[in-house]
Amino acid sequence: MFELKEIARATSAKVIRKSGRNLLKGISTDSRTIKKGNVFFALVGKSFDGHDFITDAVKKGAQAIVISKEIRNIKQKINILKTKDTTIALARLAAHHRKDKNIPLIAITGSAGKTTTKDIVAHILEKKYKVLKNFGTHNNYIGVPQTLFKLNSRHNICILELGTNHFGEISYLSKIAHPQVAIITNIGASHLEFLKDLKGVFKEKKSIINHLKDPKIVLLNSDDSFLRKIKLLKKYKLFYFGMETDCDFKASDVSLENNKINFIFNKKHRFTLHTPGRFNIYNALAGIGCGLIFGLSIKKIKEALDNFQFLEGRLNEIDCSEFCIWDDTYNSNPFSLKKAIESLMEFKTKGRRILIMGDMLELGSQSTELHKKMGKFIAQKPIDMFVALGRLSKFAADAARTESKGHKNIFTFDSKLDLIGFLKSKIKQGDILLIKGSRLMQMENIVSSLVKLK
């Protein structure tokens, strides 16, 4: 619940009409899901303008609207607040609400593994605490405030994934969230369209540390060449996790057995993850570290990881009787694709290893070159068949052909339907198909079509 004067004060908005209803219930940015008594923020983006939906919001029961433009024809008795920027106003109100809830907040960023790490950390801490986390990947300038508005007196801890594709977004979101704990999973080639290069990615992700509140706890991947260079003042409590270097939370003796990853934590405790992806150990280590920092026993943490289920599209194994699909279709960039391919190489199979690659997007001017480099990388791996979908992935396929001197079983497609038809005619018993591509490529449609062959 928010008072009208509280909203005006927190957002620096001017009340230009009062309805007499001072107590308001809930915040909404979507007229389609608005509830009676809500405050509707008319956000403005590149492809949408919330001011176009104010009439709908009011009809559905909005009792207050926050605007940045002149509006007419609102005859209903509702509160109207005006500000220069409704998106900034939303952020300010969310920050105000978060400050009012004096609980620890864990913020997670990185080039890959953010969502999985968030879900693992939440799953572990739920063994002891009432946890709020952002839904799915609601990790941007709208999703983060929307999550913070859900904070209430029952919650003990909040866990937020923070995403970015422009400079300054991590700082912006961190100022809203006021985190006490920061986790950076890794630094890789992602969102290079605006972040330019790996140094730019590192600079943007690292900025999360600048906005930490006491006790200023930082967890970093010690195996990442960028992250292990970070030097912090004594006022920070720094913890490292990894597999290849000496660190606070370390996994060793890694083995893959029946599509499960086993490892030993800090030379003492055996853990199991229900995924074939070795890289998920890093996500688990961040979770184990958080669990220990927040007072959970190893026993409780182990119980949580034993029954943790990875989300769809995050290297999930789908048994299709005669063949197997590794569904890693949620998103793709050079870093995460390499890790998925390396996991495929570790897996023993009686059939063939088949890679179905969709375009890696948002790589800016380096798109072509990074796809070519990926093609060379693929050519050096024992992949039995490489199937590429899309204009950019064709560069990867061509580079793989050149690197392998024509010996590779390589195919390119522009049409998803043609690719699916091809696969249906080529799949053999015992084959493993790794399917991965950027979100806009909708590679999950390939998965669903092949699953129907079961």
Place 194 in a pLDDT band, splitting at 50, 70 and 90: confident
User: Looking at domain 101-306, which CATH architecture does it have?
Assistant: 3-Layer(aba) Sandwich (3.40)
Write b or e for each residue in 183-193: b if 16 or more Cβ atoms lie within 10 A of its Cβ, otherwise e: bbbbbbbbbbe
| Tens digits of residue pLDDT in 112-157 | 999 999 999 999 999 999 999 998 778 899 999 999 999 999 999 9
| Tens digits of residue pLDDT in 42-54 | 999 888 999 999 9
Q: Which residue, 334, 370, 356, 336, is CA-closest to 412?
A: 356
Region for residue 360 given its phi and psi (left: phi exceeds 0; alpha: psi -120 to 50; beta: otherwise): beta
Least confident of 71-75, 160-164, 360-364, 434-438: 71-75
Q: How far apart are CA 111 and CA 185, in angstroms?
A: 7
What is the distance of C-alpha 324 from the center of its chain?
A: 25
CA distances from 348 to 165, 257, 403 (A): 37, 9, 25
User: Looking at domain 2-85, which CATH architecture does it have?
Assistant: 3-Layer(aba) Sandwich (3.40)
User: Can you give the pLDDT at residue 437?
Assistant: 96
Mean pLDDT, the chain, rounded, equals 93
Q: How far apart are CA 123 and CA 129, in angstroms?
A: 10
Same topology between domain 101-306 and domain 316-451: no
Those residues with Cβ within 8 angstroms of residue 289's Cβ, 6 or more apart along the chain or in another chain: 219, 239, 241, 248, 249
Q: What is the mean pLDDT of residues 79-98?
A: 96
From the candidate CATH numbers 3.40.50.620, 3.90.190.20, 3.30.1360.70, 3.30.420.40, the one assigned to the domain spanning 316-451: 3.90.190.20
Domain range list for the chain: 2-85, 101-306, 316-451
* Tokens read off for 423: 């696969």
| Tens digits of residue pLDDT in 218-264 | 999 999 999 999 989 889 999 999 999 899 999 999 998 878 899 99
User: Can you give the pLDDT at residue 454?
Assistant: 61
Taking a C-beta distance cutoff of 8 angstroms, is the pair 387, 423 a contact?
yes
Taking a C-beta distance cutoff of 8 angstroms, is the pair 147, 157 a contact?
no
